[in-house]
């Protein structure tokens, strides 16, 4: 791997950590494809070069291609037969992103006919089911979506959850929030009871529309009024006073 060229598709936090290990651990040259422009200072940190808006520019230059981009409809089969043909004959494809990013039927064909050097997959299209043809291929390493399954990583993930909870209950933005502003929907509620799924959808609709969702009139377990605080645990019905912003 020393002195080889690594192409990274998706240069977020995980892609950058991949670049750090490749650059400083093996002295690899780094080429990056990202859907938005990466700050020049970040690229300079890894001695990386960013290609244009199409991964086609990256693939022919790389000895290893590592995928770290999001999944979903927009990236489904991003690496298809045409793009596999653009890779060097001896290049290796690594997918630890999402299974649907790679067209597995095209990958099987590329492996069978030695169009690429090999592949390493930690994720699969349709997992936990695995394309049986992949199991018959030489030159491929398959892992059951456990690339992060070390004790240290799992402990760090658990503490990260606690950090997010600490942010939440301190009234700060959770550092890993999924939906922008969604935690404020909870803070703005007039009850400390967890909302129902229907209420979550209803309040998200109003939040995105910039309107205020009407507060449901709910009662406690024994038909107690909404302002009641039941002793001995359970759901608290105390009003909260957080500003909506």
What are the residue numbers of the active site? 98, 127, 145
Asked if residues 5 and 31 have their Cβ atoms less than 8 Å apart, the reply is yes
Among the listed residues 45, 44, 61, the one whose alpha carbon sits nearest the alpha carbon of residue 8: 61
* 66 CB burial (10 A radius; 0-12, 13-18, 19+): buried
Q: Which two tokens stand for residue 175?
A: 């550092």
Secondary structure class of 59 (helix, strand, coil): helix
Place of tokens 């799924």: 197
Among the listed residues 92, 95, 131, the one whose alpha carbon sits nearest the alpha carbon of residue 114: 92
Residues 6+ positions from 53 with CB-CB distance below 8 Å: 35
The DSSP H or E segment spanning 243 is none
Q: Which two tokens stand for residue 182?
A: 């969604």
Q: Which two tokens stand for residue 25?
A: 């651990």
Calpha distance 93→96 (Å, rounded): 10
5 prior amide bond cis, ω within 30: no
Calpha distance 214→199 (Å, rounded): 10
Calpha distance 56→74 (Å, rounded): 16
């Amino acid at each position: 791997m020393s002195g080889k060229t690594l192409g990274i598709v998706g240069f977020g936090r995980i892609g950058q950590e991949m670049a750090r290990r490749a650059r400083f651990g093996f002295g690899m040259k780094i080429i990056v494809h990202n859907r938005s422009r990466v700050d020049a200072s970040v690229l300079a940190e890894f001695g990386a070069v960013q290609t244009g808006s199409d991964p086609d520019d990256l693939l022919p230059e790389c000895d290893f291609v590592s995928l770290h981009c999001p999944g979903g409809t927009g990236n489904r089969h991003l690496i298809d037969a045409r793009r596999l043909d653009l890779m060097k004959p001896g290049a290796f494809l690594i997918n630890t992103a999402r299974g649907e990013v790679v067209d597995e039927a095209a990958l099987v064909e590329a492996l069978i006919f030695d169009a690429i050097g090999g592949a390493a997959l930690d994720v699969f299209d349709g997992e936990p089911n695995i394309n049986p043809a992949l199991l018959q291929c030489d030159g491929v390493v398959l892992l059951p979506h456990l690339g992060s399954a070390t004790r240290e990583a799992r402990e760090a993930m658990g503490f990260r959850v606690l950090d997010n909870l600490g942010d939440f209950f301190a009234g700060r933005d959770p550092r890993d929030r999924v939906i922008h502003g969604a935690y404020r929907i909870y803070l703005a509620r007039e009850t400390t009871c967890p909302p129902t799924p229907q209420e979550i959808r209803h309040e998200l609709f109003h939040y995105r529309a910039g309107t205020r969702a009407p507060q449901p009139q709910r009662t406690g377990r024994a038909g107690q009024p909404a302002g009641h605080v039941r002793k001995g645990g359970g759901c608290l019905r105390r009003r909260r006073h957080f500003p909506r912003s």
